[in-house]
Amino acid sequence: MSQSKFQYKISILDVDFSKHLYLPKLFSLLLDASEKNATSNGFGMEYLQQNNRSWVLSRFSIEVYSLPRLGEDIFIETWIEDANRMITTRNYAITSATGDVIGAASSVWAMIDLQSRKAVNIDEYYMKFATKRPPLCQKPRRIGDLRSAEIRKYSPLYSDIDTNVHVYSGKYIEWFMNLIPNPQKFFLQKKIKFVELNFVSESLFGDDLDLAVEKVTDDEFLFEAKRLETLICRMKAVFA
């Protein structure tokens, strides 16, 4: 099953106060579709972790054309575009119940050894699932340095940690969105249109982090998480 489509109903737990799908929840649904597809193909997280391996995100981009509302059904189709010894690329199409494309995403993944926390080669078995089908959106790119940023201290808590025993990637989106000034007013007036993530290193329970936000324009923000001088994650978000 090289590609799959999964249905999700937007529940009260998936939306923010505007009753539109919450960006971190959309990200989680995309990862859920990834895991379901990977499991059906024999290389889901549970299987890999039993063999001391795990997938980790390197880069991710999401384009949103229309945010679904509470009670609506959406479909997420996902497929592996390519795979080599170091990385695999996975793409997504998000459609409404009427079949309209309302969003798209593209991601880059690596595999690590859970004991050494180092990248390992991806087995040739995974390469047969590559479809060569390109994404419907811009592929994730490198995000440059922040220039002038406001910094907030943060230490990851129990609720931030996932089954890889590091900070769940979707938590960075939550942290960063909370850094936007006057978020309640902002998110009533603005909707996310594009987000791009670079994951460079991992963050663990109890780390002392610096979270930074830079306002580029009224509609564009850059975010960053660091542990001392070690870059953990960067994010670019564009609203309209």
For 28-87, the pLDDT digits (tens) are: 999 999 999 999 988 888 888 888 888 899 999 999 999 999 999 999 999 999 999 999
Confidence grade of residue 151 (pLDDT, cut at 50, 70, 90): very high
- Provide mean pLDDT across the span 228-233: 97
Percent of the chain with pLDDT over 70: 99
Q: Which pLDDT score is estimated for 221? A: 97
pLDDT band at 126 (very low <50, low <70, confident <90, very high): confident
Share of the chain above pLDDT 90, in %: 82
Please state, in angstroms and rounded to a whole number, the distance separating the CA atoms of residues 96 and 73. Answer: 6
Which fold, 1-140? Thiol Ester Dehydrase; Chain A (3.10.129)
β-pair partners for 59 = 108, 198
Query: Hey, which bits of the chain come out as E strands?
Result: 3-9, 53-64, 73-83, 88-96, 101-113, 119-120, 150-154, 192-199, 209-217, 220-227, 230-239
Q: Mean pLDDT of all residues in the chain?
A: 94
Return the pLDDT at 2: 58
Q: How many CA atoms lie within 13 A of 165 on its CB side?
A: 9
Selection from 64, 137, 75, 67 nearest residue 106 by Cα: 137
Q: Give the per-residue pLDDT at 215.
A: 95
Count of positions (residues) in the chain: 240
The predicted-structure confidence for 171-201, as pLDDT tens digits, reads as follows 999 999 999 989 989 999 999 999 999 999 9
One-letter amino acid for residue 117 of the chain: R
Task: Check: CB of residue 174 under 8 Å from CB of residue 157.
Answer: no
Burial class (CB in 10 A: 0-12, 13-18, 19+), 49: middle
Residues 6+ apart with CB under 8 A from 53: 111, 112, 113, 114, 120
Tokens of 52: 């001391």
Distance CA 132, CA 80 (A): 8
Pinpoint the residues of the chain covered by CATH 3.10.129.10: 1-140, 142-240
The model's pTM: 0.94
DSSP 3-state of 164: coil
Q: Is the pLDDT of residue 1 over 60?
A: no
pLDDT at 214 over 60: yes
* pLDDT at 43 (0 to 100): 86
Task: Determine the topology of domain 142-240 in CATH.
Answer: Thiol Ester Dehydrase; Chain A (3.10.129)
Output the pLDDT for position 46: 83
